[in-house]
Amino acid sequence: MLLNNSFGKSTEELAERFEVSKRTIYRYIETMKESGFVIDSENGYHKINREDSMHDLSNLLHFSEEEAFILSNAIHEVEGDNDFKSKLAQKLYSLYDFDRVSRAITRKEDSENILALLKGIKSQRQVILKNYHSANSKTIRDRKVEPIDFTYHYSSLWAFDVEDKQTKLFRTSRYSKVVITDEPFKYKRQHKKGGIDIFRTAGFETIKIQLKLTMRAYTLLIEEYPLAGKYIQKLSTGEYLLDTKICSFEGVGRFIMGLPGEVVIMGPNKLKEFVRERVKTFL
């Protein structure tokens, strides 16, 4: 299944994933060839040739694409610790990270960067995020960090910024390359991970919000942010209440401003002020 994507996987990446030697990976690939699969190997990467292979790989999968999607949603509906849910999700994605199911890792470069960060975490060595695009400072420069852990499906990285001496969230799509240094972690005691709210924004503190939603706003919220469903109660016909905690006003603010007249902010006042100030920038 790992080889069933457009760019394939490197020998090193496969060995790292299954914690075996490269020699063992080559042996596995030979076994697959003997079983009727045509494996294309080029520049150290291997992938299944879907046209020439005698097997339809979909017949070997334990779950269909739809079943995998349902399982993913079910995992995120589990009550309890976010780390527990994250581990379950990563186990599912580790089996289904090919093109039909994976949404995050779509390019070979992304895969190589994530592998490098996983090595940095495992070996506890500082890494350099080359040409990182910062949305806050609006700069593009190298950032030396101590990688801690990934968020949902490797979309972002919790890491300790060596220069600023604080833990931050770095988007995995905003740097060109990851370079592992020879320098070990120096600030491990200061490492910490924040949370991710239903609007997929991150932070170390949470604030309670309440929104009254029309039927349209409710439907769009559930479609775009499925995890919001368990924090919503029906008030009356066509009226719903979202009662939850968020890490930042950014995500929920974008949702509210995208549906003028469909969402009423019940609280807190700080959220109302945030939206008012953002609306002024459009005038």
Question: What does the pLDDT read at residue 240?
Answer: 97
Question: What does the pLDDT read at residue 147?
Answer: 94
pLDDT band at 94, cuts 50/70/90? low
Distance in angstroms between the alpha carbons of the first and the last residue of the chain: 51
Per-residue pLDDT at 119 exceeds 90:
no
Looking at every residue in the chain, the average pLDDT score rounds to 82
pLDDT band at 165, cuts 50/70/90? very high
Higher pLDDT, 85 or 274: 274
User: Which tokens is 252 given?
Assistant: 């929920």
Per-residue pLDDT at 105 exceeds 50:
no
Nearest partner of 11 among 57, 42, 48, judged by Cα:
42
Nearest partner of 190 among 145, 247, 136, judged by Cα:
145
pLDDT band at 102, cuts 50/70/90? very low
Highest mean pLDDT among 49-53, 73-77, 116-120: 116-120
Per the DSSP assignment, residues forming a β-bridge with 241 are: 212, 233
pLDDT band at 87, cuts 50/70/90? low
Higher pLDDT, 148 or 59: 148
Highest mean pLDDT among 6-20, 149-163, 173-187: 173-187
| Cβ atoms < 10 Å from Cβ of 161 | 16
Contacts of 39 (CB under 8 A, 6+ apart): 3, 29, 32, 33, 46, 47, 48, 49
Render pLDDT for 232-281 as a digit per residue (tens, 0 to 9).
999 998 999 999 999 999 999 999 999 999 999 999 999 999 999 999 88
Of all residues in the chain, what percent carry a pLDDT higher than 70?
77
Render pLDDT for 177-224 as a digit per residue (tens, 0 to 9).
999 999 999 999 999 888 888 898 888 889 999 999 999 999 999 888
What does the radius of gyration of the chain's CA atoms come to, in whole angstroms?
22
Question: What does the pLDDT read at residue 172?
Answer: 82
Per the DSSP assignment, residues forming a β-bridge with 180 are: 127
pLDDT band at 231, cuts 50/70/90? very high
* DSSP label at residue 115: H
How are strands ordered across the β-sheet holding 207-214?
A: 232-236, 239-246, 207-214, 263-267
Question: What does the pLDDT read at residue 3?
Answer: 84
Which amino acid appears at position 105 of this protein?
A: I
Question: What does the pLDDT read at residue 282?
Answer: 80
Which stretches does DSSP call E strand in the chain? 9-10, 39-42, 45-48, 125-134, 139-150, 156-161, 166-171, 177-184, 195-196, 202-203, 207-214, 232-236, 239-246, 263-267
- Residue whose structure tokens are 């932070």: 203
HSE-CB of 270 using CA atoms within 13 angstroms: 8
Highest mean pLDDT among 1-5, 67-71, 197-201: 197-201
What is the rounded CA–CA span in Å between residue 173 and residue 171?
A: 5
pLDDT band at 106, cuts 50/70/90? very low
Question: What does the pLDDT read at residue 115?
Answer: 78
Render pLDDT for 20-46 as a digit per residue (tens, 0 to 9).
899 999 999 988 887 778 888 888 889
Higher pLDDT, 121 or 57: 121
Of all residues in the chain, what percent carry a pLDDT higher than 90?
39
Per the DSSP assignment, residues forming a β-bridge with 156 are: 171
Instruction: Please check whether residue 249 is in contact with residue 270, taking contact to mean a CB–CB distance below 8 angstroms.
Output: yes
DSSP reduced 3-state for 20: coil
- Residue whose structure tokens are 């995500």: 251
